[in-house]
Amino acid sequence: MAQPALAAAATRALPRALLRALASGTPAAGGAPAVAGFSSNAAGDAAQAPAPAPVRWVFLGPPGVGKGTYASRVAAQLGVPHIAAGDLVRAEIKSGSALGREMQAIVNEGRLLPDEVVLRTLRARLAAGREAGERGFVLDGFPRTRAQAEALLASEPVHLALNMGLREEVLVEKCMGRRLCSKCGKNWNVADIYLPAQGGRPEIVMPPLSPPPQCAHLMETRADDNEAVIKRRLQVYRDEATPVEDFFRARGLLADFEITAGIPETLPRLLAALAPHIAAARDGAAAAEPRAAHA
């Protein structure tokens, strides 16, 4: 857990922090780049550190785009919780609660969870977070449908919907390259992608995310990562996502972000693109809570 002062310093030191995250070269298995990289600044800056940026963002994007990875890293940089719908559902199922058993039954049948079930879970998570003093969020995997988006905005202000995109042929290749370590559970990717610039679209370079030697012989492919299933998943995603994108666009909240490279190149570019929104969230928080009072 980042301490408030550290999170504030991290926010302020953003551009440099990005470069360090880049330099530390930890693109691999989830989690945030180490905050330690810029903690040397924290002591000196803490006295005049600005308020943290309690952003309220949702990350949209097709399966395989790396949304979860980017959402978790951005959230860690800003000191806000990364709330992934998939994680919430898995945790609820694992808990064996009545709701969890209901979810398991639906998932077992290969059906999508009803909006109302997903919403209930998310609201409970947000309420628990508020009680624990959390401010802001980065949501990932939610909202999935227009009805979910409407329900979310009816109860929670959202500052930005970041819509991550990646060319379809790359998405398919990336999904087919996914590997899971059967021992430590970390995700890797054997796809080595290069697409030249074409028809006004930028060049795409994505090197593989190779496992360390201790994992290399334990790689497993998920049964549903084959081309037909991946393409069907993308179609299902597009059908659902287009109305969600339209919904946020109509409210001036949608920002498109095209991915053209791997995590080390993309994360700094993403954070730079988000910088004005981070500043706006910080200013908004300062205006709303001039005394930063704790209830």
Residues that bind Zn ion in the complex, under the rule CB under 5 A: 181, 183-184, 215
Distance CA 115, CA 92 (A): 15
Q: State in angstroms the smallest separation of the CB of 210 from Zn ion.
A: 12
Q: State in angstroms the smallest separation of the CB of 69 from Zn ion.
A: 17
Task: Extract the tokens encoding 213.
Answer: 């030697």
Active site residue 183: no
Q: Which is nearer to Zn ion, 4 or 208 (CB)?
A: 208
Place of tokens 């819509």: 163
Q: Which is nearer to Zn ion, 60 or 215 (CB)?
A: 215
Catalytic residue among 120, 183, 222, 238: 222
Active site residue 94: no
Active site residue 238: no
**CA 49 to chain centroid:** 26
Q: State in angstroms the smallest separation of the CB of 214 from Zn ion.
A: 6
Active site residue 90: no
Catalytic residue among 144, 146, 174, 179: 144
Active site residue 174: no
Closest alpha carbon to 120 in 151, 144, 95: 151
Give me the half-sphere count of Cα atoms (radius 13 Å) on the Cβ side of residue 247.
21
Give CA torsion, residues 22, 71, 262, 231, to 10 deg: 170
Q: Which is nearer to Zn ion, 102 or 225 (CB)?
A: 225
Q: Which is nearer to Zn ion, 183 or 232 (CB)?
A: 183
Catalytic residue among 56, 73, 233, 282: 233
Distance CA 153, CA 155 (A): 5
Phi, psi of 57 (to 5 degrees): -120, 155
DSSP letter at 201 equals B
Place of tokens 């969870």: 113
Q: State in angstroms the smallest separation of the CB of 186 from Zn ion.
A: 5
Catalytic residue among 12, 56, 146, 178: 178
Catalytic residues: 67, 144, 178, 222, 233
